[in-house]
Structure 1
């Protein structure tokens, strides 16, 4: 299949090149180059006036989340949660995100169903359950509840483990079940009921056990962390990606850069929670935590960009709020250039996932994931914030999953 006479958004070169042909066969791009002007063949897509860019990558989603009340979500049947996830995955790929990384809740069963074509949706990387200490960010029990159901098929973002040996076993179990990375809760969070936002979670020995075991098993550790203290400690102990990082400063960013760590900011999560969190189940007692971080994420991105930290794109929107996923482009455009934001959502995301050269690019041999837009995001990336108006075509794994030309 071919797209003719299209303008290609070349993120690596930070240039938009007109009058190109993009051709693919199955799930592989076979050629990208100038249009030679020959008559179009049957089935060719007319790309005149349109802009082709690689499929977008969101490195922090929760596709099994039903609401902003994560404790309530854990009380549903797994089949019910899976049904909602199917709908969420289909909506995600229609918004142009052809690859996502689930940061707690989804498992390798969904990944397999997507890979086999049973479901329509993005490529899915999963960690299974995020790991949390007792009273940590994934310990969602209200103060009056003592029992915790540890069964792996109970819905929810995480599991509670304490001590280096328990952490080591939990890492092995998540990888056995198909996890491609391990997520650690390393500071307090907004949605958790019994921790402080500025708390530092897990001991050094516990974090080290997770990092060592993940490395032995060929995966990496991602760390939920807000404060500079939590972030700096995480990267010193070998955690590869920092999720959120709203409260970091220049010195923390310098430490991240020196360690080669990635930052995955999630600015849209706080903006949308501030507007719609109560409507979608965020308990009122969590609003004070939200106020501590809602306006700090942009400064963290600025500090990371100045220090040379590799910044991917993430959203972290829970349940129905995921319909605002593309808003991240507008929020990030306030603190980064259009090309920097596009790089986050393509090249850097692919590098973080270990898929550099296969994802996040339009080039021969790369995966056949691409988006056709009505305006040039290299000139103004904010056009991607409204996918219903901005996108004309989405191709995922070589198949057209949205066609609104």
Structure 2
């Protein structure tokens, strides 16, 4: 299909000044031409954008499509079909909110990617990290103290569920990383610190030894990809980055000194505010345990302050949401939460060009330029003045194009 978008005001993913009266020619799945002059394409379907803001599709870098319940210990009990159907619902919702790309950073797999590619389900461009690597007793180990074995009797260095695999020691870590990469993982995620939703590990706990992290990093470097590390405390962030980790997930308890260190190393952070605030408001009513709620309060108390430190240090940030279960429909809330710290242009860059950089897809995603993927949205209004336009579950989006295909068109 050939599409010609005319009379567009373009935000290109970087520059605050938007070019007016622009035309964009889409040929198949790619942008072929962007011009202030008239583009002649006699066979193209023409869409007059009407002077509205045309911009790159949004990128959510931290999702978990298979998590059908906020209580992650329930995922195995509801079963694979239930989790998969939830994934379809969640991914479709994200696409219709304007997220034309989503990175599943724990649990997503080749099968879900194939279902999207074959259009069995409708959803965004999909990157997946496979199962998360966790040490025994780490954030990916959801056994309680009375459990001696994992669900279904799985032992160490074995898949323990929908989200994670347990690997201890250098050899097991290397084998686990190689297995996920073999299965098409875009990157490898590790549990670099304690977390909120796991039952036994304190949120301040650093996880994995330096030599284990470095071994995983080396495996990813050989595949020309990277390691992403779940980290809340500043100490966990620092040791992960020192060991070669490229991307930090959350970074909730970041302090000023660590933020400056991360910025100096050129590493990235993907904060996730939406899940923290959503669980704080509704977690108790959803049956979240008091142990988890206590850890959640620690993250909630420091989340905004941590963002302030990262902004002051000029840390390179992406946008992520980390929503679980029925909370998936709060994905767009991330925009208004970040508004407490960032200007709209900063948030827009996080959700477009910086997301593409983190995905190692600069020039192909998060931009409006020739040879980029045709992943575009048209906003009814000016998101550079009002970022809240992107927080309304797609209601202010008049056009959504993913991979050259029109998903929604109200123009």
Q: TM-score, normalised by structure 2?
A: 0.94
Q: 2:235 aligns to what?
A: 229
Residues 5, 24 of structure 2: 8 Å contact kept = yes
SS at structure 1 position matched to 2:11? strand
Find 1:293's aligned residue among 289, 299, 302: 299
* Equivalent residue, structure 2, for 1:370: 376
- Of 201, 220, 224, the residue aligned with 1:214 is 220
CA contact (8 A) 2:107 2:131 kept: yes
Could you say what the CA RMSD is over the residues aligned between the two structures, in angstroms? 2.0
Q: Name the CA distance, whole Å, in 2 between partners of 1:23 and 1:154.
A: 48
Once residues 324 and 308 of structure 1 are traced to their aligned partners in structure 2, the CA distance between those partners, rounded to angstroms, is: 27
Name which of structure 1's ranges 353-362 and 149-158 shifts more when overlaid on structure 2: 149-158
Equivalent-residue separation in structure 2 for 1:232 and 1:271 (angstroms):
25
By how many angstroms is 1:49 displaced?
4.4
| Distance of 1:29 and 1:312 partners within structure 2 | 24
Instruction: Tell me which residue corresponds to 2:364.
Output: 358
**Structure 2 counterpart of 1:123, from 122, 125, 129:** 125
Q: What whole-Å deviation, never above 9, does each CA across 1:6-25 have from its counterpart, x for those lacking one?
A: 21113322122222212201
| Separation (CA, whole Å) in 2 of partners of 1:153 and 1:210 | 17
* Distance in 1, Cα, partners of 2:284 & 2:410: 34
- In 1, are the aligned partners of 2:23 and 2:39 still within 8 Å (CA)? no
Question: Tell me, which stretches of 5 or more residues in structure 2 are unaligned?
Answer: none
Superposed, 1:1-400 pairs within 5 Å as 1-34=3-36, 36=38, 43-149=45-151, 150=154, 155-400=161-406
CA shift digits 1:150-196 (9 cap, x unpaired): 49887521111111111111001111111111111011111000110
Cα distance, 1:326 vs. partner? 0.8
Question: Whole-Å Cα distance in 2 between the matches of residues 71 and 378 of structure 1?
Answer: 41
1:180-219 Cα distance to aligned partner (Å, 9 max, x none): 1111101111100011010111111211111112212222
Matched position secondary structure for 2:59: strand
Report SS of the residue matched to 2:18. strand
Give me the whole-angstrom Cα distance separating, in 1, the residues matched to 2:51 and 2:15: 21
After superposing on structure 2, the runs of 4+ consecutive aligned residues of structure 1 that deviate more than 6 Å are 37-42, 151-154
Supply the distance in 2 between the matched residues of 1:240 and 1:37 (Cα, whole angstroms): 41
The alpha-carbon deviation at position 37 of structure 1 amounts to: 9.7
Q: How many pairs align?
A: 405
Q: Is the 8 A contact 1:4 1:40 kept in 2?
A: no
From the superposition, tell whether residues 196 and 153 of structure 1 become closer, same or farther in structure 2 (CA, over 3 Å): closer
Q: How many angstroms does 1:279 deviate by? A: 3.9
Q: Is the 8 A contact 2:10 2:55 kept in 1?
A: yes
How much does 1:385 deviate? Answer: 1.0
Partner Cα separation in structure 2 for residue 404 and residue 101 of structure 1: 27
2:4 touches 2:41 (CA, 8 Å); kept in 1? no
CA distance in 2, matches of 1:154, 1:261: 30
Give the structure-1-normalised TM-score. 0.95
Aligned partner of residue 84 in structure 2, secondary structure? helix
